[in-house]
Homo-oligomer: A and B are copies of this chain.
Amino acid sequence: MIYEVDGARTDRVDVSSRGGPYPVLVGNGLLRRLPAILAEWTPATRVALVTDDQVGPLHGDEVASVLGLAGLDVVPLTFPAGEASKTRKSWSILTDEMLDAGLGRDCVVVALGGGVTTDLAGFVAATFMRGVPVVQVPTSYLAMIDASVGGKTGVDVKAGKNLVGAFHAPAVVVVDPEVLETLPRSRRAEGLVEAFKHGAILDESHFDSLTADMEALLRADRDVAAARVLESIRIKADVVSRDEFEGGFRQVLNFGHTIGHAIEAASDFSLHHGVAVAMGMLAEAEIGERLGVTTPGTRARLAAALGPLERAAREDAPPTGRIDPSRALTFLPTDKKARSGRPRFVLLERLGAVAEGEGWTHVVPDDLVSDALARTLAGV
């Protein structure tokens, strides 16, 4: 859908949600048009602008000034960048800062940043006076494609990631691919893994376009990025529109994540999320092939596409020690998608299609899981 903001053409994808549909706007330069977007999509005049201390200097100050010039009352709130901030403590601090600033039910939270910011600020908005609107302004591929669409918010606790949170649909999601230019190349690579996942589960042609555009996407070419991000958001929006609360079809988005999360946890989160999910996709493709559910050769095609991404994602990462497969296994049953303690897996039918299974997931023999996990961790 084509849409106008301040006279400039913009792409728009609508996402269904229990509280009514919300739009995802995609267009280069939208950050400068935030006042017009806020005016259209929220009734609020007071804004809690939440960002981290990396994104703040890059884009937060400019956004605060643009909003301020438009007459909005902006309360800028910053937290230390990184997953370590995605805690109940940060959530408490941000909430208290909003209360100290005298913000009330008539405010809006603008979450400007990557997935940690959209999840954390989204949870703050979900619970501030029992819920105020949130405007998601994702600044990373990962947050644009994944975190900011679908209404999931939350924080990590000792027992695991995202175990505390809420579904809180945004008032509007504002995606400005220009900001990707300030994102490190390794973070770009990491986020693109989720785009490939969208292609892998539901759209082979998206997968192929991403493969063809890999280099342009990694250097954040704004037009290529806008096109591919829009495609990926459409896929995600379709899925969450069909199943907002992950009771059924939405589970297909977990492809690669059951094992991916276990690997991530077993690395004590030293491994990038995207790298762990890429490994999880390979392991789960292997499981599917060995069960005869997934077309043979699928894992090889995934590996060919994801290999360059994985290398780029690891470029600036500290070397990760060997991850113990048997330790990773222990993180499976506590996965929150598990029912009564038994992990279930999303499996591909082929590249671009998920095998329906029983409610879109499959129970897999334990030895097959441990085998695929061990081989993937060994880089076989």
A1 at the binding interface (Cβ < 8 Å): no
A157 at the binding interface (Cβ < 8 Å): yes
CB pair A96 B154 closer than 8 Å: no
A131 at the binding interface (Cβ < 8 Å): yes
B residues in contact with A46, CB < 8 Å: 340
Knowing A96-B159, A159-B100, say if A130 contacts B340 (CB, 8 Å). no
- Residue from B104, B163, B167 in contact with A339 in the complex, judged by beta carbons closer than 8 Å: B104
A95 at the binding interface (Cβ < 8 Å): yes
* Chain A interface bracket (under 10, 10 to 19, 20 to 34, 35 or more): 35 or more
Identify which of residues 117-170 in chain A touch chain B, using a CB-to-CB cut-off of 8 Å: 126-131, 152-154, 157-160, 162-167
A341 at the binding interface (Cβ < 8 Å): yes
A339 CB to nearest B CB, Å: 5
A336 at the binding interface (Cβ < 8 Å): yes
B interface footprint on A171-206 (CB within 8 Å = 1, 0 otherwise): 000000000000000000000000000000000000
CB pair B166 A166 closer than 8 Å: yes
How many copies of this protein are present in the complex?
2
CB pair A164 B128 closer than 8 Å: yes
A261 CB to nearest B CB, Å: 13
A341 CB to nearest B CB, Å: 7
Provide the bound-state CA to CA distance between A128 and B154, in Å.
10
Most buried by B among A164, A165, A340, A341: A164
A102 at the binding interface (Cβ < 8 Å): yes
CB pair A341 B165 closer than 8 Å: no
Knowing A18-B19, A127-B127, A130-B154, say if A340 contacts B104 (CB, 8 Å). yes
A85 CB to nearest B CB, Å: 16
A223 at the binding interface (Cβ < 8 Å): no
A126 CB to nearest B CB, Å: 6
The 8 closest A-B pairs by CB, nearest first: A99-B159, A130-B165, A129-B336, A106-B339, A127-B164, A18-B18, A130-B167, A127-B166
A-B contact pairs, 11 of them (CB 8 A): A18-B18, A45-B340, A102-B341, A104-B339, A104-B340, A128-B163, A130-B152, A130-B153, A130-B165, A131-B166, A131-B167
Q: List 13 extra interface pairs beyond A96-B159, A104-B341, CB under 8 A.
A: A46-B340, A95-B163, A99-B157, A99-B159, A105-B336, A105-B337, A105-B339, A126-B166, A127-B164, A127-B166, A128-B163, A130-B153, A166-B166
